Copies of this chain bind each other. A is one copy, B any other.
């Protein structure tokens, strides 16, 4: 159990919850750990979902299948991260997406009802869990709003400037966690077109950059 806690303690869901508190929580939450092989399905589109999962080892992919048969990778969940919370919180009873292990993985499942309803033994930290869950979903909300603001810009230059404005937290110098391909995907632009635009912005004296290090001028 200590090993489990060491992995998930970094997750915002357990913020301000120590190991001793976690121990007492653990029993209220009807957790179970399950292992999956590479490419094995964890959730199929249409499955009932009354749980949230946290990746303990390995990683999983959230996949959406369109009506015309092809698939689209929506997100990749790494060790320590959570998935399924949005659907569970929204009372979506059947999953609209498929979840697949991208490598050999082990997943910790929580019964969602047990998370949000204060337990009979009313452990103190159950309330904190609810509060943290609310915070996680709301933060994701803010993040999505940022992305929408970026995507709504008319051209690549404005998209980049808007992205930089969120990325620099105060400072005019900052590094970006994405490589060019990932950044282009994030702002929904063509990679080469974005590279060309970055060059022009540097030429125009708007920015300076080297690899993933950027400076606003």
Contact = CB atoms under 8 A, between A and B. Distances in A.
Interface of A: 67, 85-92, 116-118, 127, 130-131, 133-135, 137-142, 144-145, 147-148, 151-152, 154, 165, 188
Contacts of A188: 151-152, 154
Contacts of A89: 134-135, 137-138
A137 B148 contact: no
Nearest to A88: B138
Task: Across the A-B interface, give the 5 residue pairs with the lowest CB-CB distance, nearest first.
Answer: A89-B138, A90-B138, A151-B151, A144-B144, A152-B188
A130 B141 CA distance: 17
Q: How many copies does the complex hold?
A: 2
A86 to B, nearest CB: 5
Given A142-B90, A151-B188, A127 B134 contact: no
A171 to B, nearest CB: 14
Which of A127, A139, A141, A165 counts the most chain B CB atoms within 10 A? Answer: A141
Contacts of A148: 144, 147-148, 151
Contacts of A145: 144
A133 B131 CA distance: 11
A183 B86 CA distance: 26
A127 B115 CA distance: 12
A133 B141 CA distance: 13
Nearest to A90: B138
B116 A86 contact: no
A118 B116 contact: no
A85 B135 CA distance: 11
A25 to B, nearest CB: 16
A105 B88 CA distance: 35
B127 A90 contact: no
Contacts of A137: 89, 134, 137-138, 141
